[in-house]
């Protein structure tokens, strides 16, 4: 039996990277998937890919930092599929001018917090009533290994936002544990996505990242999608309020030899 057979899922950031891989995997495991992304074309392409493979999906454009947009996202998923059981909050940003404490522009800080932290909260806020009406479910939020340790390269707004996501996830898990909803976070290490490829275009900066990863490589989006599947499914039925670290060993290492 497929691990998400009969489940209804929303994947934000579903148009590319980890979100795309998760949407494809959730659908392959039996879920009906609302592929949500601020990039409507990207979301549409993924939904078409799922449909072509025999799955059930539709695409929706969403700005997770906007309350009315997240409300419409959940409403459309419920209207189309009849309920909601899984929310995978993968949408996030990491602007190139996000740097040190003294270097990061206030506008950049505000935008990163609006999308990464507030956006996660808004999506959960809209999804929770639908999940309760559907008999419960699982929320999986993407935090980061930098929610646990300081980053080797300064990225103060992103790091703060992911710390907020992790703390929020724990709070929500406790609040809803006896109401049939689990909430967990994934803390990925550096993942080979278009976003990171742009940020690590400089070979020196790329090597500075890789030297801290015991595996000596970036993670793959599909590897994080499989972690999300575990947390979304009943395989993790006694897991809530957790931080699943998928970082290639970064947070376990003190010094990694080159």
Q: Which residues are catalytic?
A: 158
Residue 117's SS3 state is: helix
Percentages (nearest 5) of helix, strand, coil residues in the chain: 50, 15, 35
Instruction: Report residue 199 CA to chain centroid gap.
Output: 19
153 contact partners, CB below 8 Å, separation of at least 6: 205, 208, 209
Structure tokens, 142: 């993407």
**Can you tell me which residue has the tokens 């940020």?**
199
- Encode 130-169: b = buried (16+ Cβ within 10 Å), e = exposed: bbeebeebbbbbbbbbbbbeebeebbbbbbbbbbbbbebb
Closest CA relative to residue 94, chosen from 109, 84, 81: 109
Contact (CB, 8 A) for 90 and 11:
yes
Paired strand residues for 159: none
What would the two tokens of residue 113 be?
A: 């917090």
Q: Is the CB of residue 186 less than 8 Å from the CB of residue 224? A: yes
Residue 113 DSSP label: I
* Structure tokens, 116: 């990464």
């Amino acid at each position: 039996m497929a691990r998400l057979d009969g489940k209804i899922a929303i994947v934000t950031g579903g148009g590319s990277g980890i979100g795309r891989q998760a949407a494809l995997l959730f659908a392959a495991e039996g879920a009906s998937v609302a592929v949500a992304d601020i990039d409507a074309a990207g979301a549409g392409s993924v939904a078409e890919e799922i449909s072509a493979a025999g799955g059930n999906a539709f695409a929706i454009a969403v700005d997770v930092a906007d309350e009315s947009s997240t409300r419409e996202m959940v409403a459309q998923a419920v209207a189309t599929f009849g309920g909601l059981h899984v929310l995978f909050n993968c949408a996030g940003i990491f602007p190139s001018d996000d740097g040190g404490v003294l270097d990061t522009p206030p506008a950049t800080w505000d935008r990163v917090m609006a999308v990464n932290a507030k956006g996660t909260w808004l999506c959960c806020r809209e999804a929770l009533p639908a999940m309760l009406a559907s008999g419960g479910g699982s929320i999986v939020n993407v935090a980061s290994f930098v929610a646990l340790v300081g980053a080797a390269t300064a990225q103060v707004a992103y790091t703060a936002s992911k710390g907020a996501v992790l703390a929020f996830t724990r709070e929500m898990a406790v609040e809803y544990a006896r109401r049939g909803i689990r909430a967990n976070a994934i803390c990925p290490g550096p993942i080979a996505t278009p976003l990171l490829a742009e940020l690590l275009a400089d070979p020196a900066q790329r090597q500075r990242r890789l030297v801290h990863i015991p595996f000596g490589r970036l993670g793959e989006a599909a590897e994080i999608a499989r972690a999300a599947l575990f947390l979304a499914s009943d395989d993790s039925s006694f897991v809530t309020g957790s931080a699943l670290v998928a970082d290639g060993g970064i947070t376990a290492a003190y010094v990694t030899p080159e």
